[in-house]
Structure 1
Amino acid sequence: MAHDEAAPAEEAAPGGYTRVLRVPEFRAVFAAHTLSLLGVVVSEIALSVLVYDLTGSPLLSALTFALGFLPYVVGGTLLAGVADRFPARRVLVVCDLLCAGCVAVMTIPGTHIAVLLALRCALAVVSPVFQGTRMATLADVLGDGDLFVLGRSLLRIVSQSALLVGYGCGGLLLTVLTPRHALVITVGTFLSSALLLRLGTRRRPARAAGRDGADAGAQAAGPVAGARRVLADRRTRVLLLLFWVPPMFTVVPEALAAPYADRIGAGSTGLGLLMCALPVGTIAGELFAGARLRPATRERVTLPLLSFMLLPYLGYALAPGLGWTLFLLALSGAGSAYTLGLDQWFVAAVPEELRGRAMTLNTAGLMTVQGVGMALAGVVAQFAGVPATVAGAGALGTLVCVLLAAQARRGERAADAYRKNGRPNSETGLTTM
């Protein structure tokens, strides 16, 4: 592809998101991602309101949100191989159509509450397959260099922005529409996403097609064997942990935002600001790193950012007021820019025929650990209080991140030695690049 030929020249200049948006296929993926995300946000709000209207139960209403996390691990493990066994465009379009079908059934008057919750689970099972396949497709569309990193960063920025404006817009939408009518809009967004992906992206063969007998055997062995093959490489395991572990700690202040806002007397406005501070910092950090830093610089700052991003949480030990708390959260969020360099290492470490499966596992693990982190934060805060819990998450999280950074540093040095010498290295387990 033409943009691949330009990659060496681009490596010497600071990255710019406009280069990514010049790629027509990426524009289609980007627009489809925005529409799918809009559909997910609206469906979560509308379904939660619908369940509450039908049952009057706050527990069941909250459960509709929880069901967006729990089934991820099922879809991410049992269905991960779908991303590599079938052509990516087909997988993406079918996933969107399945989501549209599930939401369409939700709009039918008289649908039983158990059916609504089961359909919510089905959406969450499909989601990691869709997201993992889409991320793997980015490497096909943009190559596995800097354009891939910037493309993935743009998709993350859209996701974070949805946390800031999506739920507010969804709430406004429900002031003029019933929940079921709002769900009809969601059906439209999923169908539009499917159409964009079908017409705006090229058909490519399945990544697992045409591989040698060993690869074919691994593909046929089932989801557990496939996941085991992804996790067999020590370097890949460490990189996955670098994606998963920090978010498990970063969600702690968000999970405890309501009781902390009550503690400092911030009110509902303060609670909204506390929920927005971390995404704002994340967006700012990613935009700066993606637009202003060179690719090599982004890789150099990956592990330092990882090691220090949770340190601001230690400030919670002083139970600061609203202003300082917002600053601490935004500062920690900016450290999430470490993922840009990590993306580059991950796509280089995973063999192409396993890329879709690896991305799906990554997505499922990320969502699962965030749910676990929120639950554990609530349990600990019940006994230790909110300030001590958040500060403790900062201290423990920093220690774990520093240990993981040391492991990753050894792995990257070994990978660099392999690239220079062209020989397998026992520390990475790599036999091909």
Structure 2
Amino acid sequence: MATVTPTATPRGYRSVFRVREFRAVFAAHLMSVLGVVVAEIALTVLVYRATGSPLMSALTFALGFLPYALGGTLLSGIADRYPARRVLVGCDLVCAACAAAMAVPGAPVAVLLVLRCAMAFVAPLFQGTRNASLTDVLGPGEVFVLGRSLLRMVAQSALLIGFGLGGLLLTVLAPRGAIALTAAGFLASALLLRFGTLLRPARGSGARTSPLAGARAVLGDRRLRALTLLFWLPSLFLVVPEALLAPYAAEIGAGTAVLGLLMCAMPVGTIAGELWAGSALTARTRSRIVAPLAAVGPLALLLYVVRPGVPGVLVALALAGLAHAHTLGLDQWYVDAVPEELRGRAMTLLGAGLMTLQGVGMALAGLAAEFLPVHGVVAGAGVVGTLVVLVLLAELRASGRSRGGAGGGPRDETGVVTK
């Protein structure tokens, strides 16, 4: 199976699909993401029917976030210690087994929640290992960036399609039947990865290390720490408007149908931004727009200052999503900065922190809205988010200067190697 080398000249997203292995990875990702979304809906309905408690139903969703930090920290070393294909197939089989156990009639609610935690616990290991292995499949250059972008767009599209698909399935299947389909999806993903990708040796030495060794290696390096935080911290502020959409929609008198439309705005903007950056921009241009778009993205939320109606909210959320186009350039900076032997651990921690801080951001948004007007909380998140990004960009420039221009080719104004 051929892979694209770092020196290959990519021609947009089509260049990624020319790689046979990536087609298997993409199909497996699509199945697992849709499976997770459908499972979350079905499990929430199942728990609510069993308990009659809105709190327990909401807790089912929350459990999708809570184990990320723990799993990402404790399991990150596995990503480099064992061959990537073996880790990915193993994670899929664990999730398939958990989903199959959830589908067993009469399973107590406590067991269902534990099984949901187990699936979320291995999720950061799966995601980090898969993202690191993309550099083997596609090379660490521009084609890798486009591959990562495609996988992110699948995840965003799942928010738009998956919930509708899950609701449709529940009109013809019992919740446990929908969960059983999720188990089948994970099994199909495992088969695609097992027979559609090559078995490559592990990146690391195979020696066991402390569970915190990966976090220390990533966060102990000044440049890697700044890059990691540049992924993590903006997400904490950008989830605020989505977390508060329901109370804000009620505040301006918008109905349920309008609320659904508002919830689609940021994912649609994000997908559009990624398509634009991946299809229309060169790698050098994507690198140059990272700083301005990362800083300007949260400022779109300042539209909330005037307490906008539905059109204004749609514009604010879509613009914030469009600014996500900077992530393609940031991906290239990150993969250039991470040593190959650390790549699996770094990617695992990156995904775990991102999901964890999104959960934290949602919780903090709800807490702030208990004491302050919703529109003020959202606008304030935009201002603070921009200030945080500016501080991180300054730190990134300083880390580049402290390393000098040694090695790797010319550097742009942030100190990042440009190709």
TM-score tier by shorter-chain length is over 0.9
Work out whether 1:258 is the aligned partner of 2:246.
yes
Work out whether 1:149 is the aligned partner of 2:137.
no
Contact 1:78 1:224 in 2 (8 A): yes
Structure 1 residue 38 displacement after superposition: 1.1
Structure 1 residue 296 displacement after superposition: 0.5
Work out whether 1:39 is the aligned partner of 2:40.
no
Q: State the match for 2:112 in structure 1.
A: 116
Q: How does 1:222-241 map to 2 (within 5 A)?
A: 222-241=210-229
Deviations 1:322-356 (A, max 9, x none): 01110111011100111101100111111111100
Q: State the match for 1:4 in structure 2.
A: 5
Q: How does 1:334-373 map to 2 (within 5 A)?
A: 334-373=322-361
Work out whether 1:392 is the aligned partner of 2:392.
no
SS at the partner of 2:5? helix
Q: State the match for 2:291 in structure 1.
A: 303
Question: Which of 172, 177, 183 is matched with 1:181 structurally?
Answer: 177
Q: State the match for 1:319 in structure 2.
A: 307
Q: Distance in 1 between matches of 2:155 and 2:400?
A: 29
Q: State the match for 1:107 in structure 2.
A: 103
Work out whether 1:73 is the aligned partner of 2:69.
yes
Q: Distance in 2 between matches of 1:156 and 1:315?
A: 27
> Percent identity of the aligned residues?
62
Question: Which of 123, 126, 134 is matched with 1:138 structurally?
Answer: 134
Q: Distance in 1 between matches of 2:262 and 2:18?
A: 36
Deviations 1:343-379 (A, max 9, x none): 0011111111110000000010000000000000011
Structure 1 residue 408 displacement after superposition: 1.8
Q: Distance in 2 between matches of 1:420 and 1:62?
A: 49
Contact 2:3 2:137 in 1 (8 A): no
Contact 1:306 1:405 in 2 (8 A): no
Q: Residues 421 and 264 (structure 1 numbering): CA distance in 2 closer, same or farther, change over 3 Å? A: closer
2:340 counterpart letter in structure 1:
E
Q: Distance in 2 between matches of 1:244 and 1:119?
A: 27
Deviations 1:57-112 (A, max 9, x none): 11111100000000000100001101000000000000000000001111111111
TM-score by length of 1: 0.92
Contact 2:102 2:176 in 1 (8 A): yes
Q: State the match for 1:96 in structure 2.
A: 92
Q: Distance in 1 between matches of 2:144 and 2:33?
A: 20
Query: How many residues matched?
Result: 412
Q: Distance in 2 between matches of 1:127 and 1:357?
A: 13
Unaligned runs of 5+ in 2: none
Structure 1 residue 152 displacement after superposition: 0.1
Q: How does 1:264-283 map to 2 (within 5 A)?
A: 264-283=252-271
Q: State the match for 2:187 in structure 1.
A: 191
Structure 1 residue 410 displacement after superposition: 3.1
Q: Residues 330 and 421 (structure 1 numbering): CA distance in 2 closer, same or farther, change over 3 Å? A: closer
Q: Distance in 2 between matches of 1:170 and 1:261?
A: 24
SS at the partner of 1:310? helix
Q: Distance in 2 between matches of 1:266 and 1:415?
A: 53
Q: State the match for 1:26 in structure 2.
A: 22
Q: Distance in 1 between matches of 2:31 and 2:397?
A: 38
Q: Distance in 1 between matches of 2:166 and 2:77?
A: 34
Structure 1 residue 409 displacement after superposition: 2.7
